[in-house]
Chain A
C-alpha cells in the first residue's frame, strides 16, 4: 500500500456540530459489579468533550466499550446515524474511532517513522520504502509543529515526546473520533502545550475529541463540554462556560473542594533532619530543616534539582559537599540502606516501577522492610506477619479483600497506601513523597493528604515534592522553591501568593505564568 501525507489526514472537513456518536442506554456489568449504569450521551463532531471522574467511576469502562476492547452488556451505540456493534477494536478503528493511552503503547525499539506506519507500512514489491516513510513521517510531524526527528529510535525520546508521537500517529489514520486518556500525565508543560495545539487543530478539522483527565485546569483550558461520571453513573454534562472547578469536583466526589486539602497544623517538634550547605549532582548549597510534625514542600519545575536533592539525602547519590544532621547529630549516608536504618522512607514517584511488588500479596509488600524484625534468625513469625499487615490495612483503611490479595488488584490510591504503610510499620520518622498524587483521582488525593496528617500526628516529618503548586501551597508548613539546582526562596504556610512563587520558580519566563498554575 502506498499512501501520501494528504490522504492520511481526514481530507474532507467534517460538518461541525452534527451528532457523530450517540450512546443510548449503554451499560456494562461484570460479574459482581455494575461498572457502567445506562448512559445516554451524544457527542458532536468538532467538539472537545472532557470526561472527568474518580478512579473506578467508569471512565475506562466507557473507553473500552467505545474502542471495541470489551463488548457492552446492553444499550445501543449510534455512529453517524447507524447502529454500530463495536465488537472488536478493528471495527472501531475502521469507523474512525481511535484512542491515545496514558502509557505509550508503541514499539520502543523501532524508529519514530516505523511506529507511525506500524501495520500500514509503505512497501513496494514487499520491500519497505524506509526512506519514503521517514520523509512522510517527518512531514506529518513538522506539520503538527512538533520539533522531533522521524528517523530516531522511539525509545531515545522522552516519555512526553513518545506520547506526542502516539498522538500524531492516531491522527494519520482517518480518525474522526479520538479519545485521549490522561495524555499529559508524563508531559512537561511545553510538551503539553504542543499536544493541546494538536488537539485544537484536530477539532478545527471536525474531529471529535474525548479528553479524559484528572487535571481540572486542562479541562477548562481545552474542553467545550464536560461530563462527570461517579460510581458508574453519568452525573451530568455541562457546557464549560457554565460551570466551574468547585461544581465539577462536587459532582465527582459529592464533597466540596475545601475538604480535599485537609490541613491540620501541629506544633513542630525537634528537628529530625537538617541539611547544611549540601551540594551534589544537580543541586548546590541547599540548607533546610525538617522538624517533627511539619510538612516541608519542595516546589520547582522538573529538573530544578528537587528530586536530586532528596535522592542524595536518601543515599542514592553521593553528596559533594555539606553536612547532613539526623536528630541533631552529623551522619554519613552512603546508601539507601543507611537512610532506611536511620528512619527515612521514600515513596518514589513511580509506584509501579519502584514502590511495589505488584504480583505479590498486599501483606508481603507491607512487611517487606520489617522481615528482619518479625523473624528470628531463621523463621518468620507467622502471627506477627499477619497482625502487622492487618494493622496497617486497618490503620490506613487500605481497601483490599484480604492481606493475601495481590497488590496489582488494588486501585492506585490504595497501592500508594501500601507504600506508606510499609514504612509506617518500619517506624520511619521522615517521609519523602515524590509527586505522590500523579495520576490519582481527587477522592484518593484527599485520602493521601489525610494520611499526611496521620503521619504528622505520630511525630513524623514530611518532605513533599510536587510540580503541582496548589498541592504544596495548601499543605506545606514550609515551602522551599527550587530553580536550577538552587534553593531560591522559602515561604511559610500561605505566606506568599501563587504568582510570587511561580515567578521565583520560573524567574525569566514571566509570560508562562498564567498557564503554570
Chain B
C-alpha cells in the first residue's frame, strides 16, 4: 500500500445489519409497550394471530424487494394473490391432488412474472405500467372465470393447514421462514443476488461487465410473481375460498414493508430481513391499534406517518454516513 493518508471517514460497516437491528429494536419496543398497556397482547392466542396476519405480507414484501432492488416495482402482487386463490380453488375442487394444484398455481405466478419481464425487457414498457396493467386485468380475468362469485374450497385438509401450528408456531409463520432463508441466501450469498444489486445500480455498467441484465430482470419479476402466487395459496387455505377481489391493496402494504425495511425505491439498496421486519412492524401496529380500540381509520394514518418517519430517518443516516 502507498504511504499516502487514507481518507479519514469511517466506512459504514455492515450498514444493513445495523439497520436491521434498529428495526428489530423498534419491533421489540412496540411489543413491550403493547404488552404493558394491554392485557391481551401478550397472550399466546394474540401472538399467533399477529404472526398469521404479518406472514403473508412479509412473503409478498420479499418478492417485491427483489424487484425494487433492480430499480423496478411490482404493483400486480395483490391481484396475483387474488387470482391465485381462484386458480387454487378451481384446481382443488376439480379433484386434482392438493400438492399438484399448489404446484400449478405457483407456475401461474411464474408465468405472470415472466410476462412482466417480457413487457419490460422486450417491449420496453416501464415496470410501473406493465404491472399496473396486469393488476387490473388479472382481477378482470378472475371475475370472468368465477362469474363474480366466490368459490368455496371443499377440502378440509387444505384449509386446516393455515390454522394449525407446528412446535407452537403457526404454520403460516413457518412459511415465512421457508421463503426467507432461501431468499436470504439467494440475495446475499449468490451471484444472482449480486447481479440484482448491480443492475439496480447501473444496468449499463453491469451489461458491460458481462452480466446478463435481461435475465436478471426476468428473474426478479418471476420471483415476485412466484412469492405472490404462494401467498395466494396460503390465503386460499386461510379463508377457504377462491375470490379474485381478495388481497385488495396488498401490493401497497408489501411496498410499504419493503421500504420500512430499508429498501431504496431508487434501487440497489435492500435486504431480506428488512422487509420481513417491516411487515411485522406494520402487522403489530394494526394489531395493537385494534387492541387499544383505536379507530380503524386512524390505523391507516399511523401507518402512513410511520412510513414517512422511518424512511426519513433512514435517509438522514445514509446521508450522514457518506
Question: A residues touching B (Cβ–Cβ < 8 Å)?
Answer: 31-33, 336-337, 340-341, 346, 348, 353-360, 364, 367-369, 371-372, 375, 378-380, 382, 394, 397, 399-402, 404-406, 409, 422, 426
Residues in B neighbouring A364, C-beta threshold 8 A: 194, 197-198
Given contacts A359-B269, A405-B11, contact A397 B2 (CB under 8 A): yes
The 4 A-B residue pairs with the shortest CB-CB distance, nearest first, are: A32-B8, A357-B201, A371-B191, A340-B210
Residues of A within 8 A of B11 (CB): 401-402, 404-405
Interface string of B193-222 (1 = CB under 8 A from A): 011011001101111111110000000000
Contacts of B2 in A (CB 8 A): 397, 399
A397 to B191, CA, bound (A): 26
Q: Contact check, B185 vs A379: say whether CB atoms are below 8 A apart.
A: yes
Query: Do B201 and A401 touch (CB < 8 A)?
Result: no
Provide a sorted-by-A list of 20 A–B residue pairs whose CB atoms are within 8 angstroms. A32-B7, A336-B210, A340-B209, A340-B210, A346-B208, A356-B205, A357-B201, A359-B268, A360-B197, A368-B206, A369-B209, A369-B210, A379-B185, A379-B189, A380-B191, A400-B6, A401-B9, A401-B11, A405-B11, A409-B322
Say which residue of B4, B190, B197 sits within 8 Å of A379 (CB atoms).
Answer: B190
CB-CB nearest in chain B for A379:
B189
Contacts of A399 in B (CB 8 A): 2, 4, 6-7
Contacts of B268 in A (CB 8 A): 357, 359-360
Which residues in B have their C-beta under 8 angstroms from that of A353? 202, 204-205
A360→B6 CA distance, assembly (Å): 19
A32 contact set on B, CB distance < 8 A: 7-9
Flag whether B301 is at the interface (Cβ < 8 A): no
B205's partner among A354, A372, A404 (CB-CB below 8 A) is: A354
A356 touches B210 (CB 8 A): no
Whether B189 lies near A357 (C-beta < 8 A) is: no
Which residues of chain A come closer than 8 Å to B206, judged between CB atoms? 357, 368
Chain B nearest Cβ from A153, distance in angstroms: 21
Q: Cβ of B190 and Cβ of A354 under 8 Å apart?
A: no
Cβ contact within 8 Å between A401 and B7? yes
Contact B10 A368 (CB under 8 A): no
Instruction: Please indicate the chain A residues that have their CB under 8 angstroms from the CB of B189 in the complex.
Output: 379-380, 382
B118-142 vs A, CB cutoff 8 Å, 1 = contact: the mask equals 0000000000000000000000000
Distance (whole angstroms) from the CB of A433 to the closest CB of chain B? 13
**16 additional contacts, CB 8 Å, given A341-B210, A355-B205?**
A336-B207, A337-B210, A340-B210, A357-B206, A357-B268, A364-B194, A368-B205, A368-B211, A369-B210, A375-B191, A379-B189, A379-B190, A399-B2, A400-B6, A409-B9, A409-B322
Binary flags per residue of B1-28, CB closer than 8 Å to A gives 1, else 0: 1101011111101100000000000000
A33 CA to B5 CA in the complex, in Å?
11
Does the CB pair B194–A368 fall under 8 Å?
Answer: yes
Interface of B is mostly: loop
Determine whether the beta carbon of A357 is less than 8 Å from that of B4: no
Closest residue on chain A to residue B13 by CB atoms: A404
Q: How far is the CA of A84 from the CA of B270 in the complex (A)?
A: 45
Asked whether B212 lies within 8 Å of A337 as measured between CB atoms, the reply is yes
Closest CB in chain A relative to B89 CB, distance in Å: 35
Interface residues of B (CB under 8 A from A): 1-2, 4, 6-11, 13-14, 185, 189-191, 194-195, 197-198, 201-202, 204-212, 268-269, 322
- C-alpha spacing A452/B147, complex, angstroms: 70
Which residues of chain B have C-beta atoms less than 8 A from A31's C-beta?
Answer: 8
B198 and A360 contacting across the interface, CB-CB below 8 Å: yes
- Assess the B10–A401 pair: CB atoms within 8 A: yes
Chain A residue at minimum C-beta to C-beta distance from B10? A401
Q: Check B191–A372 contact: CB distance below 8 A.
A: yes
Complex Cα–Cα for A422 and B185 (A): 24
Identify the closest chain A residue to B266 (Cβ). Answer: A359
On chain A, the residues within 8 Å of B194 by CB distance are 364, 367-368, 371, 380
Contact in complex: B13, A358 (CB < 8 Å): no
B-side contacts of A356, CB under 8 Å: 202, 205
- Residues in A neighbouring B9, C-beta threshold 8 A: 32, 401, 409
Tell me, in angstroms, the Cα distance from A422 to B201 when the chains sit together. Answer: 16
Closest Cβ of chain A to B322, distance in Å, is 7
* Smallest CB separation, B185 vs chain A (Å): 7
Q: What is the CB-to-nearest-CB distance from A110 to chain B, in angstroms, rounded to a whole number?
A: 22
CB distance from A337 to the nearest CB of B (A): 6
Is the pair A368, B204 in contact by a Cβ cutoff of 8 Å? no
| A residues in contact with B191, CB < 8 Å | 371-372, 375, 380
Closest to A375 in B: B191
Output the nearest chain A residue to B210 by Cβ-Cβ distance: A340
- Across-interface contacts of B190 in A (CB, < 8 A): 375, 378-380
A244 to chain B, nearest CB (A): 28
Docked pose: A422 CA to B205 CA in angstroms: 12
Complex CA distance for A380 and B190, rounded to whole angstroms? 5
- Give chain A residues whose Cβ lies under 8 Å from the Cβ of B269: 359
CB-CB under 8 A from A409, the residues of chain B are 7, 9, 322
B198's closest neighbor in chain A, by CB? A357
Contacts of B208 in A (CB 8 A): 336, 346, 348, 354-355
B201 and A33 form a contact (CB under 8 A): no
Cα distance, A371 to B14, chains bound together (Å): 21
Residue of B nearest to A404 (CB): B11
Contacts of A346 in B (CB 8 A): 208
Contacts of A401 in B (CB 8 A): 6-7, 9-11
Q: A380-B190, A409-B322 are in contact. Are A357 and B13 (CB under 8 A)?
A: no
Shortest distance in angstroms between B5's beta carbon and chain A's nearest beta carbon?
Answer: 9
A381 to B212, CA, bound (A): 21
Contact (Cβ within 8 A) B205 A357: yes
| B204, closest chain A residue (CB) | A354
